[in-house]
Structure 1
């Protein structure tokens, strides 16, 4: 029984804490109809199809402006690549990422369902929980790290306002790995981020629209300052001589860096359905995402140009923007420099906030809804992610856990096969045909129940996918020695995992047919009859789409076909 209707907020709080039973009823979502259904798990109704092609373009364009992209050129230039060569590596890695992101968004944009529900068709009604959990854990960890980065920029802003900020006594022991100034910034970042957790994914696109405008301006301002103060770019200041005595060794070093860029994109590649599901039309997610990510080369270029100019001026390479902004204040603490640094730090803090929401908080919230659909929707999941991310004290991860950081860096070998298996399942095995009602069927008769709720073919393919790069991944911790071949296979980690996992799943499905194989016989993406019907002659303009009642009055573009006394409504 739900709480009595018409209660004020104060009365609701009093009711919730009056007894354990009332508390449970107060936090239970009315939309939770079963262990597989709540408001954010069912196919999104048309009023939630709010993301246009421009929304996705702004999202990826804004997402490219972050701390990681700004400093991505550091490792590449350190290998001996020229600035141009380093940027080309980043460009081609992002082009490949964009293509796979678009492919993984097709099913979500067509059926308007997110990653957790799509994963049921591939991994099983119970098996999908594991693949959602490994992504959710990553969201918490990196959400905390991004919150820490945001706190550093806020600390720089406070340093610009208060001259005594830098000399303030640090009462936190050095062993904790954080100063009082940065901790205050971290606390402020948590408070500032809190209101954004109230915004649903369908409306958060406006945040990225603002970020896509202000961040390039700030980045351009930093580049202009650096090149003007230095009298040029001086790209040679950061370039090192490459050891090309062995072409193979050098080539695999470049491949490893290409793989690291793919790895940094791997989490979003997997969970892009959580955004694509809100696409106004299926094609909107295509061009917006296909163009938006590759243009991140501009942010990486700005980072390289600025670092080279500053290196030539001061003899030190500041690859991270927060180190650069602190370095500027160390060099000169004039009113002019303080104003410029304050604006840049404020924009970078805002950009980091957007990155945290886009890459960590929103995916976590969208995915964790399937864990406890009775109690968690996307908004509640966002609050949960932020609170846990704050509680894990992320500075300990960055300052005193190099082994754990190394694990996170190689984590992508476990995600490459996940996305390839889902792509093979949708495009090649099911040919774009999904049975939406079956994805919410609690019975063992569901075609996606497989064996004990797990599609063993996808599990086997997932393991096969990371087997080859696994020895090199273990060797990267330095605890055991591995062969050169194992190391080179690890350098191909994400790409190798993607290829092996997808091929293995396709072969297994050819040998051992998946339940519901009749879906594969229909033309690509053709809907089953019961998903798009209403009695012929009925003018109510209501119909069932993907098993959910909809209304044509809320759909911009649709067709009606009269076949055998039934009107079939197809949303374009």
Structure 2
């Protein structure tokens, strides 16, 4: 058991480290009564459903303002597209992403459970661990990369304050891929991020509300400065002459860029249940998410216009905001430019922090909570993600492993089928009906146990999904020559993976019925529950049933707040 609650902080520390046994007791969560349950894995109670439609709108609008979106138009314009056509490609890709995101958040918003628990219904009580693990690994890697980007902006802020910052002697060997200035910024970024790890996902939406306001203002300030200094937009200077006589090649290149936008959104598409579970009402996540992401077009447009204006002035295209701000200081190190770059860097650092929390830290925390529910909850998982992300020295990934980065760029072919399989399972196989009790039942009698804890149908469908674009993915590394057809199939990697995986799973479930498929005969969403109440020790979950609502626990006993309840109280939303 944990230290007594009336202990002071220092008394708790002394108790925790007084013996290995007490240390183990202190880190063990009281709510973890099995390997499938703790307070952050059970359905979110009403008091934790804090995200409104405006919260989701602010979140997606704020997430649109990041380094990737700002520089997204570069590859499109390099293909010879006009600025308008490049932005249209981004717009339509984001619209498609928003539609899939809303669909993937539907089950979570109605049952108030996150991705790791939802995955149990599709992949099995043990099979889901693989899909949770691969998402957690990505969260660590990209969390470190985003922390490195945040450190770069902090280094820029220090350069604005101290004129001698750029001349600081770099004592780090060039082979390490980082300068002393950026390393200091990286360490400061780590320290600054620590307090945000104390904020649970139920309250983190306030951060995105602030970001949704300050980041567009900073972006507007940058684009207004660029156009004023240049005397206009001059966007045409970015166009690259491209031979468009071969329509097929030109069209497939555009398709590839559309797919790259989908790939950059793929992590968000998979992650959304961990946010949608906290929606106050199911429809809140629909309207907020459907409108927010397509508005990313504004950030992309600002990036294109700013880069075009700067290239017209200085003859160099700065697509990355960090390089742009350094370029401004290189060309004009005045008090006015230093002040402008300082505040812009401050806002971009804050925006990068928000992106890392939403896309990397929160998903990792949910995943590690699922894998180690006895010791880790969301807040502890966030701290663990930050520490490991700091320890992996992400600049080595960015500077010394281009092949690995290429792998991460094409990783979306593995994520597309995961999403489609879960959507088919929920909407078509189970018709919106999930058995919450069974999602926490690890016995072989559970309808989600399948075969040895694994739903082999979903595994086969997952393989079918990524195998189709896999040859082209391998060919993208440049070490193996593949056919033009394979390359073009890879250009449709996310879309093909999504369609093939979903269709394969649907066919397999028609031929080989899954346990619980009888739920499809119920009206859609009939089994949706508002406040899950399971009888203490009487359900099919046995002793695990009482833990579904750990917040009801009082002095080790559960309140008899719903007497004579048989089964689960149903309240259809």
Asked if these proteins are the same fold (TM beyond 0.5), I'd say yes
Deviation at 1:548, TM superposition (A): 4.7
* Cα offsets for 1:249-280 (capped at 9, x unmatched): 11110111110110011011012100000000
Q: Distance between the aligned counterparts of 1:382 and 1:533, measured in 2?
A: 29
| SS class of match (2:571) | strand
Alignment of 1:354-365 (within 5 A): 354-365=354-365
Deviation at 1:367, TM superposition (A): 1.7
| SS class of match (1:393) | coil
Alignment of 1:417-566 (within 5 A): 417-527=417-527, 548=549
Give the 3 Å change call, closer, same or farther, for CA 188–470 of structure 1 in structure 2. Answer: same
TM-score, normalised with respect to structure 1: 0.94
Determine if contact 1:156/1:345 at 8 Å carries over to the other structure: yes
Q: Distance between the aligned counterparts of 1:145 and 1:350, measured in 2?
A: 15
Alignment of 1:107-126 (within 5 A): 107-126=107-126
| SS class of match (2:370) | coil
Give the 3 Å change call, closer, same or farther, for CA 149–3 of structure 1 in structure 2. Answer: same
The equivalent residue for 1:570 is 571
Deviation at 1:368, TM superposition (A): 1.3
Q: Distance between the aligned counterparts of 1:567 and 1:317, measured in 2?
A: 61
The equivalent residue for 2:559 is none
Deviation at 1:11, TM superposition (A): 1.2
The equivalent residue for 1:388 is 388
Q: Distance between the aligned counterparts of 1:455 and 1:406, measured in 2?
A: 31
The equivalent residue for 2:561 is none
Unaligned runs of 5+ in 2: 536-544, 553-565
In the alignment, is residue 102 of structure 1 matched against residue 88 of structure 2? no
Determine if contact 1:79/1:240 at 8 Å carries over to the other structure: yes
Deviation at 1:570, TM superposition (A): 2.3
The equivalent residue for 1:248 is 248
Larger displacement relative to structure 2 (416-425 or 262-271): 262-271
Give the 3 Å change call, closer, same or farther, for CA 177–534 of structure 1 in structure 2. Answer: closer
Determine if contact 2:154/2:189 at 8 Å carries over to the other structure: yes
Determine if contact 1:532/1:570 at 8 Å carries over to the other structure: no
* Cα offsets for 1:459-479 (capped at 9, x unmatched): 000000011100010111111
Deviation at 1:242, TM superposition (A): 2.4
Give the 3 Å change call, closer, same or farther, for CA 326–566 of structure 1 in structure 2. Answer: closer
In the alignment, is residue 70 of structure 1 matched against residue 73 of structure 2? no
The equivalent residue for 1:158 is 158
Q: Distance between the aligned counterparts of 1:354 and 1:7, measured in 2?
A: 34
Determine if contact 2:123/2:455 at 8 Å carries over to the other structure: yes
Deviation at 1:550, TM superposition (A): 9.6
Q: Distance between the aligned counterparts of 1:569 and 1:488, measured in 2?
A: 49
The equivalent residue for 1:265 is 265
The equivalent residue for 1:16 is 16
Give the 3 Å change call, closer, same or farther, for CA 486–122 of structure 1 in structure 2. Answer: same
Q: Distance between the aligned counterparts of 1:281 and 1:214, measured in 2?
A: 27
Q: Distance between the aligned counterparts of 2:83 and 2:398, measured in 1?
A: 28
Give the 3 Å change call, closer, same or farther, for CA 530–449 of structure 1 in structure 2. Answer: farther
Q: Distance between the aligned counterparts of 1:223 and 1:50, measured in 2?
A: 35
Larger displacement relative to structure 2 (479-488 or 11-20): 11-20
Determine if contact 2:526/2:572 at 8 Å carries over to the other structure: no
Determine if contact 2:57/2:288 at 8 Å carries over to the other structure: yes
Determine if contact 2:365/2:381 at 8 Å carries over to the other structure: yes
Q: Distance between the aligned counterparts of 2:255 and 2:516, measured in 1?
A: 40
Q: Distance between the aligned counterparts of 1:374 and 1:533, measured in 2?
A: 22
Deviation at 1:223, TM superposition (A): 0.5
The equivalent residue for 1:200 is 200
Deviation at 1:513, TM superposition (A): 0.2
Q: Distance between the aligned counterparts of 2:468 and 2:534, measured in 1?
A: 52
Deviation at 1:206, TM superposition (A): 0.4
Q: Distance between the aligned counterparts of 2:506 and 2:234, measured in 1?
A: 51
| SS class of match (1:178) | coil
Q: Distance between the aligned counterparts of 1:90 and 1:346, measured in 2?
A: 27
In the alignment, is residue 27 of structure 1 matched against residue 30 of structure 2? no
Deviation at 1:3, TM superposition (A): 2.9
Q: Distance between the aligned counterparts of 1:377 and 1:550, measured in 2?
A: 14
TM-score, normalised with respect to structure 2: 0.94
Determine if contact 2:151/2:184 at 8 Å carries over to the other structure: yes
Give the 3 Å change call, closer, same or farther, for CA 566–128 of structure 1 in structure 2. Answer: closer
Matched length = 551
Q: Distance between the aligned counterparts of 2:472 and 2:324, measured in 1?
A: 34
Larger displacement relative to structure 2 (276-285 or 517-526): 517-526
Deviation at 1:39, TM superposition (A): 0.5
* Cα offsets for 1:373-409 (capped at 9, x unmatched): 0000000000000001001101111111000000000
Q: Distance between the aligned counterparts of 1:399 and 1:569, measured in 2?
A: 55
| SS class of match (2:165) | coil
Q: Distance between the aligned counterparts of 1:376 and 1:534, measured in 2?
A: 24
Give the 3 Å change call, closer, same or farther, for CA 309–567 of structure 1 in structure 2. Answer: closer
Q: Distance between the aligned counterparts of 1:567 and 1:408, measured in 2?
A: 43
Deviation at 1:4, TM superposition (A): 3.4
Determine if contact 1:437/1:546 at 8 Å carries over to the other structure: no
The equivalent residue for 1:176 is 176
Give the 3 Å change call, closer, same or farther, for CA 265–332 of structure 1 in structure 2. Answer: same
